[in-house]
């Protein structure tokens, strides 16, 4: 993928940087970074998080990497590596705001200078362990619903919850994609009713109901770690998942981060805030996969989207995503809301 942003034409762009969440991890995704100076971040994240991150990025298989705590620290680290290389290659790029999808919000907070690398890694480690524990205590399920808008899906969810079932909207990813979460029975019932209404559903390969009240135990555990963390003033606004509002640093992020575990990811509203309110003219998806680039194109189809993944793409002669289209298979992936 592209190592440098394309040269701007006309007025200077105002970039919004997007960081992915769980679901984009893949075996060996750290290999391209081993020879870069950014690789020293791996040891820093390992020490702070308590995981052997080099092993997770280089040698483990998909089953190990798909475990919630492993996936989160791996995606966080890979995204940090990409961000470090992006800034080295594009030092003059006018980045004016950042945002991250679920887990990616922690990468955004580090990129914005709100969290140190060590504090971000420590929180991601605690978050992953807390969410895995909560899912074991109260297993759940998630499914992506496509073909209808969020109001239609919310109505379906409300009707099922009115019958006493546990079901909530977990993500509003694009105008035509909403993720629901709750008990397995409730998700299965929603899938059946969605099909009757002409909507498509895809059950996600998770045993957790992320971004729902099922994560309350994780919120309590993570809250203790958040309370012991210093959130600095920051140098860039970060648009929060829970309300799609831009914030700089400060202790308010303790509550925003705790709420994020049990609240809807308002990704469509986040993209619109970046574009409409903060004046971002381009989006840059930084980190593994191309999920966020695909969601951005579907939400704001006239806004240029760039993809930055590998550190040596330009030198290797690969074709960068740049201002071109994101591959359909990548764009169609549903991010796990973790």
Among 101, 135, 123, which Cα is nearest to 223's?
123
- On the 0-12 / 13-18 / 19+ scale of CB atoms within 10 A, 154 is middle
Give CA–CA dist 336/187, Å, rounded.
Answer: 15
Whether 321 contacts 2, CB under 8 Å: yes
Q: Answer yes or no: are the C-beta atoms of 281 and 304 closer than 8 Å.
A: yes
Contact 133, 208 (CB under 8 A): no
**Buried-exposed string 18-34: b where 16+ CB fall within 10 A, e elsewhere:** bbbbbbbbebebbebbe
Q: Can you list the alpha helix ranges (DSSP code H) found in the chain?
A: 40-49, 53-58, 62-65, 68-89, 104-111, 117-137, 150-161, 184-196, 216-227, 252-260, 267-272, 291-299, 313-316, 328-331
Which of 117, 178, 120 minimizes the C-alpha distance to 144? Answer: 178
Contacts of 244 (CB under 8 A, 6+ apart): 266, 269, 270, 272, 273
Q: Can you read off the two tokens belonging to residue 133? A: 């524990």
Question: How far is CA 129 from its chain centroid?
Answer: 17
Catalytic site residues? Answer: 102, 211
């Amino acid at each position: 993928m592209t190592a440098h942003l394309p040269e701007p034409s006309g007025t200077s762009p105002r970039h919004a940087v997007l960081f992915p969440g769980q679901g984009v991890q893949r075996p060996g995704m750290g290999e391209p970074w081993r020879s870069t100076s950014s690789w020293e971040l791996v040891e820093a994240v390992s020490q702070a998080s308590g995981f052997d991150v080099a092993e997770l990025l280089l040698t483990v298989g998909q089953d190990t990497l798909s475990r919630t705590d492993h996936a989160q620290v791996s995606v966080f680290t890979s995204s940090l590596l990409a961000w470090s290389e992006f800034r080295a290659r594009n030092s003059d790029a006018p980045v004016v705001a950042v945002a991250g999808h679920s887990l990616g919000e922690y990468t955004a907070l580090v990129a914005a200078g709100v969290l140190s690398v060590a504090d971000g890694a420590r929180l991601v480690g605690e978050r992953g362990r807390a969410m895995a524990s909560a899912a074991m205590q109260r297993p759940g399920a998630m499914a992506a619903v496509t073909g209808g808008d969020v109001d239609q899906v919310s109505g379906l969810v409300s009707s099922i919850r009115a019958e006493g079932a546990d079901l909530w909207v977990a993500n509003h990813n694009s105008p035509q994609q909403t993720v629901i979460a709750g008990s397995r029975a409730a998700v299965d019932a929603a899938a059946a009713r969605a099909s009757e209404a002409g909507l498509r559903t895809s059950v996600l390969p998770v045993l957790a109901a992320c971004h729902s009240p099922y994560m309350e135990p994780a919120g309590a555990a993570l809250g203790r770690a958040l309370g012991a963390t210093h959130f600095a003033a920051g140098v860039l606004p970060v648009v929060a998942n829970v309300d799609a509002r831009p914030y700089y640093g400060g202790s308010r992020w303790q509550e925003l981060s705790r709420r994020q575990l049990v609240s809807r990811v308002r990704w469509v509203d986040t993209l619109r805030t970046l574009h409409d309110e903060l004046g971002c003219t381009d989006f840059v998806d930084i980190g593994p996969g191309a999920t966020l680039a695909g969601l951005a194109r579907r939400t704001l189809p006239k806004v240029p989207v760039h993809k930055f993944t590998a550190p040596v793409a330009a030198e290797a002669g690969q074709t960068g995503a740049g201002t071109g289209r994101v591959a359909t298979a990548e764009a169609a992936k549903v991010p796990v809301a973790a």
